[in-house]
A and B are shown apart, each in its own frame.
Chain A
Amino acid sequence: MLVAAWRDLQWRRRRFLIAVSGTALVFAMTLVLAGLSNAFVVEVDRTLHVVHADRWVVASGATSPFNSSQVVPGAALGRVRKARGVVAADPFIALHNTIGVDDPTNVTTIGAVPGGVGSPTVTDGRAPRRDGEVAVSSRLDASIGDRVVIGGRRYTVVGIVPKSSLYGGTANVFLTLHAVQSSTFNGLDLATAIAVRGHAFRAPPGVTAVTNARARTDLLSALGAGRQTIDVVAVLLWIVAACIIGSIVYLSALERVRDFAVFKATGTSTPALMLGLAFQAVVISLLAALAGAVIATLMAPQFPIPAEIPPSAYVVLPIVAIVVGFLASLAGLRRAVTVSPALAFGGA
């Protein structure tokens, strides 16, 4: 009965095309949402990678080098550098700030010792070496050589760090440690963390060692509610997709009641009829998944927080689409099962 189901898809192609279009948009939104949720994770990993520290030391009671308002005691740096397993250690500052004057934008200012641990890897240009220099995220509309105002001070852009952001798209800007200390701590030798390169070590008294994994978890927890909301909306969208496919397949089943009766009266088994209907639902789902993937790929970069659709989502989508299509066809299947072949008799 697959041929009959396929011919019926062709026969009612306009209706099925509408269903595919609607479902494709829903699938695309689902993919984009998955991309947004993933973007929050990717940006954290990207930032941790770009500052390439193996471990961190923060003030006792603080949980992360990126969102702590506590400073590390100055004496701690020397003790950390002497600790067994530490190859190198440098002060590090991460603070919320703004860039621009007339239309200021929130950024995360990261200060590190030039060439030291926590200094950013820059793909275009170079990392800042002097206090008046800055490397900015490619998410900001700035080019090398531009003059930008950060926290009321002017800096020259000397490097671009690709797609660097935190907290759901807030761009990172990278300054020298001294520049940040000058602008924020009135020139005092303070830091919010110590970036460490080396193996596991025992943290000296008064400070706490934090792994990258812990720092990652801490950064992601700030967006936990948002990510959960996105996940709930994604589930709702799956349900919407199932409803669209289900209603179309059910309508098709209702209109084909006499066909089903004839098939049954001429010896076609009920499972074969069910297979045909399920086939229709799955074909619609897969076509919608294909179109949805294309739409999502085109849409993803256009969002304020560019969606990072994971490759696995493209693999999972058709699988989920098949499941959604099959579930959506259940109402139609039930209708097909209950059709009596006696309906084939009688007038038109």
Chain B
Amino acid sequence: MPALEISDLVVEYSSGDYTIRPIDGLSARVEPGELALILGPSGCGKTTLLSCLGGILTPTSGSIRFGEITVPGLEAAALTGYRRDTVGIIFQAFNLVPSLSAIENVEVPLRAAGRSRRTRRQRAHELLDLVGLGDRSHHRPGDLSGGQQQRVAIARALALDPPLILADEPTAHLDYLQVEDILRLLRELATADRVVVVSTHDQRMLPLADRVIEMVPQFGMGEGDPERVELAPGEILFEQGSWGELIYVVESGDLEVGRPRNDGSWETLASLGAGQYFGETGPLFRLPRSATVRARRAAVVTGYSVRDFRHRMGSQGIGAVLADAGDAPP
């Protein structure tokens, strides 16, 4: 039975003059029969990762292997075949075709695979019965509740019995009663010959998971003493896109905040001197650093945990920091 193996996966794209890297060196392995959660806040690259796993997005570098298939290396026709035969995708917004009935939506992959009419009908009926919608097979999506639509979407994803199921925030648009049904279904899908990967920012799904792929590093909120760092001229303290848990205050010297452009040039965003703080946005909002900081002259900075920084700034001060977050250096 095939396992899913992700190695040193990097995805980057240009945004204006800059390069954004939502996934940077991700590695993970999911065994057959496992349900893996891709966990992280919105915007951390969960959907990007699912797109790569589904053969919809080609990563910048790294490898995705599912059994004998190396996904990024597939040619266009093979990629279409991979998406059709190997992967079943459950979308956040259900994405049923509104003009097709429930059973016709389930038949879409079967049609794409060239199954006969009789086989299609039989299989679609089986799947709708499986998800408890046998009596709604001729209803259009607009006549179904959100939970029912998602169950049709699950039936569609299972149409060709793919060994890899990808679910993108499958409970995002459902109420808690509907969530229960969907979670139970997803858990049941992870059988011995199938891998299920679910992206979510909902930590309540953790008990379902056999494996968790954290898209954002877990940092403590306040452990450790302040960290004093001495920087030589030109030395980089941290780079854009990296993760960090410390907020820095300049003790002495000069630093500059900037971003490398796609053309290799450097754009200076701000200059920092003694007494100024920087790097608060990432740790406070659990985001990657949005700029690079380097010493212009020899400098000394002190890094504080979020809790120590709050303590140092006081309750009013942290409010000002948050208010200025958009303008302040990262």
Contacts and interface: CB of A to CB of B under 8 A. Distances in A.
Interface stretch (A78-86, A148-156, A202-210, A259-267): A259-267
Contact of A342 (B51, B77, B87, B156): B51
B100 A267 contact: no
Given A8-B99, A267-B113, A344 B108 contact: no
A267 B81 contact: yes
14 contacts: A1-B111, A4-B97, A4-B100, A8-B99, A263-B112, A265-B56, A266-B84, A266-B112, A267-B83, A269-B112, A344-B91, A345-B91, A346-B93, A348-B93
Contacts of A10: 99
B92 interface: yes
A317 B161 CA distance: 47
B95 interface: yes
Given A265-B83, A266-B156, A267-B84, A344 B112 contact: no
Contact of A4 (B92, B95, B108): B108
Nearest to A259: B97
B85 A346 contact: no
Contacts of A8: 99
A290 B155 CA distance: 41
Given A268-B108, A345-B51, A348-B173, 19 more contacts: A4-B99, A7-B100, A265-B54, A265-B83, A266-B112, A266-B156, A267-B84, A267-B85, A267-B87, A267-B112, A268-B84, A269-B77, A340-B56, A344-B56, A344-B89, A344-B95, A345-B92, A346-B93, A347-B169
Interface of B: 47, 50-51, 54, 56-57, 77, 80-81, 83-85, 87, 89, 91-95, 97-100, 104, 108-109, 111-113, 156, 160, 168-169, 172-173
A7 B84 contact: no
Contacts, number: 92
- Size band of the A side of the interface? 20 to 34
Interface in A8-37: 8, 10-12
A332 B18 CA distance: 33
Given A342-B51, A342-B57, A347-B172, A266 B109 contact: yes
B99 A263 contact: no
A258 interface: yes
B98 A11 contact: yes
B111 A3 contact: yes
A263 B108 contact: yes
A167 to B, nearest CB: 55
A8 B108 CA distance: 14
A293 to B, nearest CB: 29
Nearest to B84: A267
A251 interface: no
Contacts of A348: 92-94, 173
Contacts of A132: none
B142 to A, nearest CB: 10
Interface of A: 1, 3-4, 7-8, 10-12, 258-259, 261-269, 272, 340-342, 344-348
A264 B99 CA distance: 17
A348 B96 CA distance: 11
Contacts of B168: 345
A15 to B, nearest CB: 12
Contacts of B97: 4, 7, 259, 262-263
A344 B96 CA distance: 10
Given A4-B100, A269-B112, A347 B93 contact: yes
Nearest to A260: B97
Contact of A346 (B47, B98, B111): B47
Nearest to B86: A267
Nearest to A258: B95
A266 B98 contact: no
A200 to B, nearest CB: 67
Contacts of A261: 95
Contacts of A258: 95
B170 to A, nearest CB: 12
B55 to A, nearest CB: 9
A265 B160 CA distance: 14
Nearest to A266: B109
B93 to A, nearest CB: 4
B119 to A, nearest CB: 15
A280 B104 CA distance: 18
A345 B112 contact: no
A7 B85 contact: no
A268 B2 CA distance: 24
Contacts of B160: 267
Sorted from nearest, which 4 A-B pairs have the closest CB atoms? Answer: A267-B84, A11-B99, A348-B93, A7-B99
Given A265-B56, A267-B112, A346 B92 contact: yes
Contacts of B51: 342, 345
A82 to B, nearest CB: 81
A266 B108 contact: yes
